[in-house]
Structure 1
Amino acid sequence: MVSTIAEKVIPAGLEAYAALDKRLLLAVKGINILSTVSWPASLEDRMIEAYGKGQYALPEVGYHKPDLSEVRKELEAIEKEAGDGDPIREYLRRTAESWRVAAEMLEAVGTEGVTAPSIQLYGRPGDAIPGSHYSNLDAARYFVELSDELGADMADDDIVTNISSELLRKDLSTALDDFFGHGVIAVEVDNDLTAKAAAGATRIRLRGGTRFSQYDRHQLLNHEAYVHSLTALNGREQPVLASLARTSPRVTATQEGLAVFAELMSGAIDIARLKRISLRILALDMALNGADFVEVYRYFNRCGQSVGDSFHSAQRVFRGVPLCGGSAFAKDNVYLSGLIDVHTFFRWALKERRMDLLRYLFAGKLTLGDVMSLEPYFQSGALTAPRWLPPWMQHVHGLAGKLAFSLFINRVRMSKVEAETLSTGL
């Protein structure tokens, strides 16, 4: 016997899980993290013009503080009802908990009270990297230093930002229609968007008035479309856990890490991109240790970013928090740590001959732990396999080749390599 929710067939015995998941989605419908902490585009334009003239006043940012008290009560009730002892129960409880922490964070918007819950959700720069003696901060410093060392020898002549947002919109629309089907994902230009781009299940937005490079195009396709939009669309296919279509706070690190990993696997990432991601982590650490907005802005500017890019980068660090130092919005911490975790997971899956787990990772918005704990439900069919996979995941032999080489080459200890040993000439 089966029942249906939202016209999807629910396997017998899992109706209660599906109903609780539906309650969860309804409860968090009004929680919009990034839009709550974002700055008005008009303020950014005005301040960027002033900073370009050397007028470094702290921006005056106002926020609308939401009342999410009823939402928090419902999430607490869902946490309690979900309990534990079963992978789906555990998924529902942890997901509800992460949304509750996010609600507490948003109710503190504009105050230093945003910092602690944002760190709880996204981590801090000094967090250790699993399986190593290094921290996320160590990794960030490494990529910045490497980029700076290589920069003197690498010309940027081929990185030209000559693609308008409207031209890119048309180009991406054609590519996405070919991949997902006509009209499945719309591409729009948004003049109020703070980030260069943002992706949902059926819409990708590009910041108006911005010019893009071919690297940007490849990154948008592989990062935004073939991960963020793709996993959202696959999540919508799920009969039991419809919440897998939405990025809960607890899956942010895996989602962003997977998106940057997709750039790496598809050749859409360059060393400058790794540097930008890493600089944000170093800037987060600066802000948490007392640097104010202007100091963080100047740091980005000294590191080679333009006035506009430096302002936008600093703004990401200070979203939703006071600008006087000691506070930060920690989301940008997840890009590098998530990349490292996802890369490690892919290598582990290859070593264990578990490529099936890698495919499950695209079935919705999941953490790495979810993929393993929910495996029995994928095998039974209660959770559906992904309808779409990124192009680079569809060529399993090519992916396996890259990962196999990565696994072996890690045995080579660079500390024991000298230039003389690399010469094979007689």
Structure 2
Amino acid sequence: MSKPVETVPAGLESYAALDKRLLTAVRGINILATVSWPASLEDRMIEQYGKGQYTLPDVSYKTPDLSDVRKELAAIESEAGDGDPLGEYLRRTAESWRIAAEMLEAVGTEGVTGPSIRLYGSPGDAISGSDRSNLDAACYFVELSDELGADLHDDDITANIPAELLRADLARELDGFFGPGKIAVEVDNDLTAKAAAGATRIRLRGGTRFSQYDRHQLLNHEAFVHSLTALNGREQPLLASLARTSPRVTATQEGLAVFAELMSGAIDIARLKRISLRILAIDMALNGADFVEVYRFFNRCGQSVADSFHSAQRVFRGVPLTGGSAFAKDNVYLSGLMDVHTFFRWALKERRMDLLRYLFAGKLTLYDVMSLESHFASGVLASPRWLPPWMQHVHGLAGKLAFSLFINRVRMSRVEAESLSAGV
């Protein structure tokens, strides 16, 4: 493994300068904060919905003026060019932030939908290497979960861990892995999601109780992917932007995080159902369903009043609630998972485990890992300082992937129950 360089190599100063300009330009862009709803509104509406009083929430947004930011990002795109992998990385990253800026300047209108689909994809997009779509995959996991439901009721999944108790538990675990005080764990009463992670902070939604499954998922999804890749990105000597999640890397980063759940045994069929239902809900909204209809869809699928409201709210962040529009970010969890899973299998088949390690060196897409390979090999880009626990046991990971790679040759359409149970 090459030793990373301590300073910017001669001839690459222009890329470092553009990267610095990029980070300065996007400092004021905060996608989720711009499209989020006030916690007080959510609490009030959840109480009303619990009483059967279904009215559309009255949501207002503060529209940012990002015109100067868009101009600077367009200039960076032009100057970066695409003749070299580093330049192409900067151009693509600047472009995705510019699209995000356009999206946020349309907040509260149907103008959010188009840019969000450009950034995060749509339910109808085809799965890589398949003739099926994200929507097809979502339907499959929902149907399978429902069919297995009666057999899964004995699972002991009880949400009985208070947020404050989990906070203390996670803090101890992370101090032992990353070092004391490297990542703070906090309880946030205004958080919409159950949890959120940055480079140095993980937040848990206050007033929420968590299960052991939740704890396992938080460690492997939020801490050992989202926080880990951000911290590794901060170790980069040339591209400091690798520490920040640009819109274009969202699918890979969320897919990698869900894949981490899969590899560490932290995912269950109910979790796959939840992320699949969100894709179905995005499709419903795009086809005209309003907020109340999407809420009722989640509620019919077994979610509580509060969970149904929060799930519907994710689909309608930043867009009108009357139907025909959607915030498409939740499309990336399943599509990203399938792309990352395919990439890991491909890397094993090609005996390229080095590429899998590079994936954790910062906030990268699968394409970035391939195109920037020579810069990792030369040490211009630093290899990751931290790897998730399941990535540290390469033989175990290779065993799982090798079995997955081979077993996919078995065509289930040709399997009969009698052939599996026949005596010898």
What is the TM-score of this pair, normalised by structure 2?
A: 0.98
> CA separation in 1, counterparts of 2:404 and 2:130?
16
What residue in structure 2 maps to residue 46 of structure 1? 44
Per the TM alignment, residue 228 of structure 1 is displaced from its structure 2 partner at its CA by: 0.2
Partner letter of residue 52 of structure 1?
Answer: G
Deviation string 1:291-337 (CA, Å, 9 cap, x unpaired) is 00000000000000000000000000000000000000000000000
Matched, 1:163 2:199: no
CA distance in 2, matches of 1:15, 1:376: 18
How do 1:19-30 residues align onto structure 2 when only pairs under 5 Å count? 19-30=17-28
In the alignment, what sits opposite 2:272?
A: 274
Q: State the SS of the aligned residue for 2:7.
A: strand
Paired with 1:65 and 1:156, the residues of 2 have a C-alpha distance of: 48
Measure, in 2, the Cα distance between the counterparts of 1:305 and 1:391: 32
2: CA distance, partners of 1:305 / 1:400: 37
CA distance in 2, matches of 1:306, 1:8: 52
What is the identity, as a one-letter code, of the residue corresponding to 2:206?
Answer: G
TM-score (structure 1 length as normaliser): 0.98
Offset, 1:8: 5.8
CA distance in 1, matches of 2:329, 2:16: 30
2:389 counterpart of 1:391: yes
**Aligned match of 1:113 in 111, 114, 117?**
111
Q: What secondary structure sits across from 2:248 in the alignment? A: helix
Structure 1 residue 139 and structure 2 residue 173: aligned?
no
- Aligned letter for 2:261? E
Structure 1 residue runs of 4 or more that deviate by more than 3 Å after TM superposition: none
* CA distance in 2 between partners of 1:77 and 1:409 (Å): 49
Q: Does 1:84 align with 2:82?
A: yes
Separation in structure 1 between the aligned mates of residue 213 and residue 183 of structure 2, nearest angstrom:
21
Corresponding residue for 2:257? Answer: 259
Q: What is the CA RMSD across the aligned residues, in angstroms? A: 0.9
Q: Which residue is 1:369 aligned to? A: 367
Shift of 1:152: 1.0
Which residue type is aligned with residue 339 of structure 2?
D
Corresponding residue for residue 412 of structure 2: 414
Instruction: Work out the CA distance in 2 between the residues paired with 1:71 and 1:112.
Output: 22
Which residue number in structure 2 is paired with residue 177 of structure 1? 175
1:338 maps to which residue? 336
Provide the C-alpha distance between the structure 1 equivalents of 2:399 and 2:6, rounded to a whole number of angstroms.
38
Match of 1:402 in 2: 400
Q: Secondary structure at the match of 2:102?
A: helix
Aligned-pair CA distance for 1:416: 0.8
Paired residue secondary structure (2:409): coil
Determine the C-alpha separation between the residues in 2 that align with 1:51 and 1:374.
50
Equivalenced residues, count: 420
Q: Secondary structure at the match of 1:188?
A: strand
Which runs of structure 2 are paired with 1:221-300 in the superposition (5 Å)? 221-300=219-298
- The whole-number CA distance in structure 2 between the counterparts of 1:354 and 1:271 is 30
Q: Residue type of the partner of 2:395? A: H
Q: Which amino acid aligns with 2:109?
A: T
Structure 1 residues 202-236: Cα deviation after superposition (integer angstroms, max 9, x where no partner): 00000000000000000000000000000000000
SS in 2 for 1:85: coil
Question: What letter corresponds to residue 420 of structure 2 in structure 1?
Answer: L
Between the aligned partners of 2:219 and 2:105, the Cα distance in structure 1 is: 34
Deviation at 1:157, TM superposition (A): 4.5
> How big is each residue's C-alpha offset from its partner over 1:139-166, in whole Å with a ceiling of 9 and x where there is no partner?
0000000000000111255000000000
Q: Residues 347-370 of structure 1: CA distance to partner in whole angstroms, max 9, x if unpaired?
A: 000000000000000000000000
Counterpart CA distance in 2 for 1:137 and 1:315 is 20
Distance 1:157 1:394 in 2: 29
What 5-or-longer segments of structure 1 have no aligned partner?
A: 1-6
Separation (CA, whole Å) in 2 of partners of 1:360 and 1:157: 37
The verdict on how the C-alpha distance between 1:156 and 1:27 changes in structure 2, with shifts beyond 3 A counting, is: farther
Please report how far the alpha carbon of residue 424 of structure 1 lies from its aligned counterpart in structure 2 after TM superposition: 3.9
The verdict on how the C-alpha distance between 1:156 and 1:56 changes in structure 2, with shifts beyond 3 A counting, is farther
Say which SS state the counterpart of residue 367 (structure 2) adopts.
Answer: helix
Q: Which residue in the other structure is 1:4 paired with?
A: none
Deviations 1:57-95, CA, capped at 9 Å, x for gaps: 000001010000000010011001101110000000000
Q: What does residue 33 of structure 2 align with?
A: 35
